[in-house]
């Protein structure tokens, strides 16, 4: 695109809520004399996708911060609410006409409904002669561009990673973050109206409201995510802080009490931080290599590639977006789906301390450590033989970092229904995981105070009534919901039977 090819450009922001290293914003700044931005909230679609209050609150709080940052650059940010994605082509068509926009810029999103929405917008605006440019920004490379020798999308992580690194090692500059758009003159901001009326009772305004659909978003109203500062400044701070400890990541990342992971997921998912900024930081710590001499940075870059892998997967295998297992034969698993089991799992009352501590961490903070996500997902789907989709939905509802691709990928992995799935006979033993990764019970004590006085040994599996250790039986803490050995056997049989 030649410099300043257009008079007026509109940037449609979605989950890319930052000024720095934002490809759509950068390209609009380069290609247009005047730039405005828009965010369209679609609460009905968000609900139907399972987005819970926490992730939406994080998104909207980050948006407020972004609006202030853009204003400093004299780029107005408009806000619009409409029920569903399907409303966006018609509304954008009116908006580009009323704002006299010459081109629309956005960063691509990949789940099927998002792709379909973006395609409809492109077709609709084409009729008005307004080009729409979608950029690669949420991922490092365009999904679909990395394929096996036979031209298919990768189904297994390790070959995907090998192919990625062989093509991109020592090419850090390809992922170098882009500069922020320069500030426009004060008169630039004045070229855009304060608000415009659209057909069907909706208005385009410059104020982000306190409620969107039935999401109550008044600042301070989101109890569970209060610990999470929102926005680009908080995300940038988290990235900087993590750079200080990345060298220890390989050693401590699996220990939930250590708080040694980056906790960048909420920022990556609403786009307050970009994946390129993460990669630039880690490559700088790793001599510019994906697999370099800093073991912590190399291991962390692997996790960034897991994120990339799952984003590519939804494009290569869109059936995972349709509530379907990746492996069709696992559609026949006879899930027991006992509602009491599910409720106790959700509430952190299974009687298995590490599972309960993890679920309470989720319920109280909107986040859960990765090791524990694997443990609780395995426990729900294997030991309690509950359909992975119920757990997937509950996570979407609770997580402040809820992301369809990573969440679906993680759940299907744990349930052995997905690509790269854990083989069905590998079932996490929650007690061994607990002893190994929370050896002194520090994490359990933090979230299950009823058990705080138990010894480091007993806390993983509290002694039950009738045993000599009954003296220490704790405050109404429930008996285990199932016997992990028997339930493991049952799960393996169920999956083995699918083969016959």
Ligand X SMILES: Cc1cc2nc3c(=O)[nH]c(=O)nc-3n(C[C@H](O)[C@H](O)[C@H](O)COP(=O)(O)OP(=O)(O)OC[C@H]3O[C@@H](n4cnc5c(N)ncnc54)[C@H](O)[C@@H]3O)c2cc1C
Contacts to ligand X by CB under 6 A: 253, 261-265, 268-269, 303-304, 306-307, 310, 370, 373-374, 377, 395, 399, 401-403, 406-407, 409-411, 414
Q: Based on CB atoms, which residue is closest to ligand X, 80 or 422? A: 422
> Is-catalytic flag, 367?
no
Are the beta carbons of 13 and 37 closer than 8 angstroms?
yes
Provide the 3-class DSSP secondary structure of residue 22.
Answer: coil
Among candidate residues 12, 46, 300, 388, the one labeled active-site is: 388
Q: Which residue in 335, 429, 442, 450 is the catalytic one?
A: 335
Which residues does residue 8 pair with via DSSP β-bridges, in sequence order?
Answer: 34
Catalytic residue among 363, 370, 429, 442: 370
Question: Of 6 and 411, which has the nearer Cβ to ligand X?
Answer: 411
Q: How far is the CB of 303 from ligand X (least distance, A)?
A: 4
- The reply to whether 303 belongs to the active site is yes
Closest residue to ligand X, Cβ-based? 410
| Closest separation in Å from C-beta 45 to ligand X | 18
Give the nearest distance from C-beta 383 to ligand X in angstroms: 15
Spatial CB neighbours of 199, under 8 Å, sequence gap ≥ 6: 94
Those residues whose C-beta lies under 8 Å from the C-beta of residue 230, and which sit 6 or more positions away, are: 58, 61, 62, 64, 65, 270, 272
Q: How far is the CB of 404 from ligand X (least distance, A)?
A: 8
Give the nearest distance from C-beta 236 to ligand X in angstroms. 14
Active site residue 290: no
401 vs 458, which CB is nearer to ligand X?
Answer: 401
For residues 437 and 456, give the distance between their C-alpha atoms in angstroms, rounded to a whole number. Answer: 13
Which residue, 88 or 398, has its beta carbon nearer to ligand X?
398
- Token reading at 178: 């882009």
Cβ contacts of 25 within 8 Å, gap of 6 or more: 11, 19, 35, 37, 105, 180, 181
Query: Are the CB atoms for 421 and 412 separated by under 8 Å?
Result: yes
Between 137 and 458, name the residue whose CB sits nearer to ligand X: 137
For residue 275, what are its two tokens?
A: 């994946």
CA-based nearest residue to 266, from 61, 12, 37: 61
CB of 493 to ligand X, least distance (A): 23
Question: Which of 403, 458 has the CB closer to ligand X?
Answer: 403
Tokens of 467: 């045993």
Asked if 105 contacts 133 with a C-beta cutoff of 8 angstroms, the reply is: yes
CB atoms within 10 A of CB 153: 18
Read off the tokens for 333.
Answer: 């698993």
DSSP codes joined into one string, 270-318: HTSS-HHHHHHHHHHHTTT-TT-S-HHHHHHHHHHHHHHHHHHHHHH-G
- The 10 Å Cβ neighbour count of residue 186 is 8
User: Cβ(143)–Cβ(310) under 8 Å?
Assistant: no
Q: Is 408 a catalytic residue?
A: no
Closest distance of CB 275 from ligand X, Å: 8
Give the nearest distance from C-beta 459 to ligand X in angstroms.
23
Among candidate residues 192, 290, 300, 411, the one labeled active-site is 411
Minimum Å gap between C-beta 377 and ligand X is 4
Closest CA to 244 of 262, 232, 227: 262
Give the tokens for residue 290.
Answer: 């994906």
> Catalytic site residue 113?
no
Q: Which two tokens stand for residue 363?
A: 């319920």
CB of 470 to ligand X, least distance (A): 35
Q: Which is nearer to ligand X, 76 or 271 (CB)?
A: 271
Contact assessment for residue 273 and residue 239, using Cβ atoms and an 8 Å cutoff: yes
Q: Which residue has the tokens 């929370």?
A: 438
In the set 306, 345, 367, 413, the catalytic residue is 306
State which residue, 105 or 310, has the beta carbon closest to ligand X.
310
Pairing of strands 203-204, 196-197: antiparallel
Of 88 and 260, which CB lies nearer to ligand X in the complex structure? 260
Q: In what order do the strands lie in the sheet with 77-81?
A: 77-81, 32-41, 6-13, 103-107, 132-135
By beta-carbon proximity to ligand X, the closer residue of 19 and 58 is 58
Give the residue from 419, 414, 391, 421 showing the smallest Cα distance to 50. Answer: 391
345 included as an active-site residue: no
Residues designated as active site: 303, 306, 335, 370, 388, 411
């Amino acid at each position: 695109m030649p410099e300043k090819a257009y008079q007026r450009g509109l940037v449609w922001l979605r989950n890319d809520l930052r000024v720095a290293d934002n490809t759509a914003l950068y390209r609009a700044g380069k290609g247009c004399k005047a730039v405005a931005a828009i965010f369209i909230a679609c609460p009905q679609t968000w609900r139907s996708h399972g987005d819970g209050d926490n992730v939406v609150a994080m998104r909207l709080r980050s948006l407020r911060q972004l609006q202030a940052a853009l204003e400093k650059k004299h780029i107005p940010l408009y806000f619009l609410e409409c029920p569903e994605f399907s409303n966006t082509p018609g509304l954008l068509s009116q908006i580009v006409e009323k704002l006299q926009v010459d081109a629309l810029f956005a960063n691509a999103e990949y789940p099927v409904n998002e792709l379909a929405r973006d395609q409809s917008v492109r077709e609709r605006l084409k009729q008005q002669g307004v080009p729409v440019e979608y950029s690669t920004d949420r991922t490092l490379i365009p999904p679909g561009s990395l394929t096996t020798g036979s031209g298919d999308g990768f189904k297994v992580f390790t070959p995907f990673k090998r192919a990625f690194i062989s093509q991109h090692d020592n090419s850090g500059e390809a992922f170098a973050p882009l500069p922020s758009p320069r500030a426009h003159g004060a008169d630039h901001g004045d070229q855009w109206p304060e608000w415009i009326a659209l057909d069907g009772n909706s208005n385009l305004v410059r104020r982000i409201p306190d409620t969107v659909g039935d999401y109550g978003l008044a600042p301070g109203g989101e109890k569970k995510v209060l610990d999470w500062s929102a926005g680009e400044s908080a995300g940038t701070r988290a990235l900087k802080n993590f750079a200080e400890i990345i060298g220890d990541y390989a050693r401590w990342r699996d220990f939930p009490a250590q708080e040694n992971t980056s906790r960048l997921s909420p920022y990556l998912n609403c786009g307050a931080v970009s994946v390129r900024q993460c990669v630039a930081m880690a490559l700088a710590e790793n001599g510019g290599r994906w697999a370099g001499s800093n073991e912590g940075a190399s291991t962390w870059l692997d996790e960034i590639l897991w994120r990339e892998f799952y984003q590519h997967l939804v494009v290569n295998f869109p059936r995972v977006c349709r509530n379907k297992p990746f492996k069709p034969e696992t559609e026949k698993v006879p899930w027991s789906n006992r509602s009491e089991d599910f409720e106790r799992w959700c509430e952190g009352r299974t009687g298995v301390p590490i599972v309960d501590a993890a679920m309470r961490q989720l319920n109280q903070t909107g986040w859960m450590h990765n090791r524990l996500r694997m443990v609780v997902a395995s426990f729900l789907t294997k030991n309690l033989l509950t359909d992975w989709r119920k757990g997937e939905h509950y996570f979407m509802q609770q997580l402040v970092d809820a992301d369809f691709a990573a969440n679906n990928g993680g759940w299907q992995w744990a349930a052995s229904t997905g690509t790269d799935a854990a083989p069905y006979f590998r079932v996490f033993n929650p007690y061994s995981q607990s002893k190994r990764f929370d050896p002194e019970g520090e994490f359990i004590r933090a979230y299950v105070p009823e058990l705080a006085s138990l010894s480091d040994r007993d806390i993983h599996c509290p002694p039950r009534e009738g045993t000599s250790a009954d003296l220490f039986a704790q405050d109404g803490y429930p008996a285990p919901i199932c016997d992990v050995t028997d339930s493991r056997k049952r799960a393996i049989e169920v999956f083995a039977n699918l083969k016959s």
